[in-house]
Amino acid sequence: MKFTEPALDNLINLISRLPGLGPKSARRIALYLLKNKDSLMKPLAETLSNAHSKIIRCQICGAIKSLDANCTIEKCYYINNSYDQLCIVENIADMWAMEATNIYKGHYHILGGTLSALNGSNPETLLINSLIERVKKNNVKEVIIATSATIEGQTTAHYINDSLQGLSIKITKLAHGLPVGSEIEYLDDGTLFSAFKYRNPISEK
């Protein structure tokens, strides 16, 4: 069903593009916002605009950071930040899922996607050069590749493994046991925990 007011149609259309929302929920949200214009719609619009201009992706580790502040999640700006392990994940939700298992408390490198011709992700957008730099600068001993068990995730894992050849480090990836086609973000803690615990080396130096 279409409303006749173009501004409202546009609002519903944009809301329906958010993950997990269909046209029906989008309509409900749009009408709810209109009903609460001053108390919710206005502050939400201002917050969105502010987030759009102020929140950026850290070009070193891939975490989210404020435009005018240091990277707080990974604290990757510390020059002498030496650590043994670096875990590579596709996105921030994967990092949160990994942290929830309590099996790993180290540092992360957030790719922001997987290698894909379709969505335009390439080694540059995935911060692969920065990853190599971090491994060298921070004296990383082990890189743990925690990409999803999808074709794209595994292709990316292979690419990262190839990119890190020549460095004297151990490279591991999550063990099989992850359901094929599954995405890290949606796994239950137990599956993710055991997959992480029994991770296998891809290559070892």
Give the separation between CA 94 and CA 96, rounded to whole angstroms.
5
Residue span binding Zn ion (CB under 5 A) among the ranges 46-54, 58-66, 118-126, 143-151: 58-66
- With binding defined as CB under 5 A, does residue 164 bind Zn ion? no
- With binding defined as CB under 5 A, does residue 127 bind Zn ion? no
DSSP notation for 68-87: TS--SSS-TT-TT---SEEE
Binds Zn ion by CB under 5 A, chosen from 74, 94, 142, 183: 74
DSSP state of 184: G
For Zn ion, the closer of residues 58 and 149 by Cβ is: 58
Q: How far is the CB of 79 from Zn ion (least distance, A)?
A: 13
* Contact mark string toward Zn ion, 78..117, x via CB under 5 A: ----------------------------------------
For Zn ion, the closer of residues 62 and 153 by Cβ is: 62
Q: How far is the CB of 106 from Zn ion (least distance, A)?
A: 14
Local structure of 204: helix, strand or coil = coil
Closest to 180 in 3D by CA, of 144, 204, 153: 153
How many Cβ atoms sit within 10 Å of the Cβ of residue 93? Answer: 14
Residue span binding Zn ion (CB under 5 A) among the ranges 34-42, 59-67, 96-104, 112-120: 59-67
For Zn ion, the closer of residues 60 and 126 by Cβ is: 60
For Zn ion, the closer of residues 98 and 149 by Cβ is: 98
Strand bridging mode 85-89 / 64-66? unpaired
Indicate if the alpha-carbon torsion angle 82, 95, 128, 203 is positive or negative: positive
Local structure of 202: helix, strand or coil = strand
For Zn ion, the closer of residues 71 and 135 by Cβ is: 71
Binds Zn ion by CB under 5 A, chosen from 12, 60, 97, 126: 60
| Cα–Cα distance list, 13 to 4, 18, 38, 52, 183 (Å) | 13, 10, 21, 19, 27
Give the separation between CA 174 and CA 194, rounded to whole angstroms.
9
For Zn ion, the closer of residues 82 and 165 by Cβ is: 82
- With binding defined as CB under 5 A, does residue 131 bind Zn ion? no
Chain positions contacting Zn ion, by CB under 5 A: 58, 60-61, 63, 71, 74, 76
